[in-house]
Amino acid sequence: MDRNEIAEVLNRPLSQEMLARDLTRLAYVAKDGTPRNIPISFSWNGSQIVMCTTTNAPKLPALRANPMVALTIDTEVHPPKILLIRGRAELDVVDGIPDEYLEMNTTYEMTPEQRVHWEAEVRSLYDQMVRIVVTPTWAKLIDFESTLPSAVEELFQQREARQHA
């Protein structure tokens, strides 16, 4: 998939809505060779998905060994809206708390006092964090109205071919 095709998918209004959500599912291959899929907060900066984690997170050695990842951002309603993204994770250790981490956690319902306490707690806990940055190399939006999973599209095509045979 080339950059223009990826941009076309990610610039659709529904994709932009999905990229404004606060949770994605990060899939990667663990060090023992088995798959992992974890929920993680994220932010979209217009060209990359940014996630932040602790410097001792078990996923980091796995991502260093195999940086290829898949992300799923979806809704909890029927029919679901699903944005699928694949890419390569780049790890960036930063001192203190990345701005993205504070921004991605603003959607949680907190009173201003709770927010101040939460941020103070975060700042006291983390001397460093790791930014996991994924630049999309593939993207697909599934809304079950104008776009479907490729296997379902194939079944529709087969049914149409049978009906016209």
What residue ranges define each of the domains in the chain, with the CATH number in brackets? 3-164 (2.30.110.10)
Give the angle 13-14-19 at the CA atoms, nearest 5°.
95
Reported as a single tens digit per residue, the pLDDT across 31-76 is 999 999 999 999 999 999 999 999 999 999 999 999 999 999 999 9
What percentage of the chain has pLDDT greater than the value 90?
70
pLDDT of 107 strictly over 70:
no
pLDDT of 90 strictly over 90:
yes
**Residue with more model confidence, 96 or 154:** 96
Tell me if the pTM is above 0.85: yes
Average pLDDT, the chain: 93
